[in-house]
Amino acid sequence: MLAKDIREMTEADINARIAEMERERFNLVVASGTRTLDDPLRLRVIRKDVARLKTVLREKVIGIAEAKEVAGKPAQVKARRVTGRRGRKSATATNRAKTSKRA
């Protein structure tokens, strides 16, 4: 199930689809406890589809619109600055390697 297909659905349809997939997932989990499943990867697919449905539903609730294309090109997203411990740590390690006297 693609996100663009989900975005065309109404909120009621999305909620119904989530309930249906959760029911199917529950049945598969119960069945997996007693026997081997024909398609064990179906659990993963259902879990990801439910997450995708919930994400699009949340977007609809808070009013996030899909990024528009401009003249056939995707909208440019502003690059995020590297912040936090990992970003500083890797940048510092790179600078240390450049200025190291042992190298």
**The pair of three-digit structure tokens given for residue 8, joined into one six-digit string:** 């065309």
Number of domains into which the chain is organized:
1
Q: What mean pLDDT is reported for the chain?
A: 80
What string of DSSP letters covers 31-80? Answer: HHHHS--S-TTHHHHHHHHHHHHHHHHHHHHHTPPPPPPBTTBPPPPPPP
Phi-psi domain of 71 (left: phi exceeds 0; alpha: psi -120 through 50; beta: other):
left
> Which residue range forms the structural domain that includes residue 60?
3-66+75-99
**CA dist., res. 2 & res. 52, Å (int):** 8
SS3 content of the chain, % helix, strand, coil (to 5): 65, 0, 35
SS3 of 2, please? coil
CB 16 within 8 A of CB 51: no
- pTM (2 d.p.): 0.61
- Regarding predicted confidence, which is higher, 4 or 76? 4
- pLDDT value for 62: 86
Q: Which residues 6+ apart lie within 8 Å of 15 measured at CB?
A: 57
- pLDDT value for 36: 94
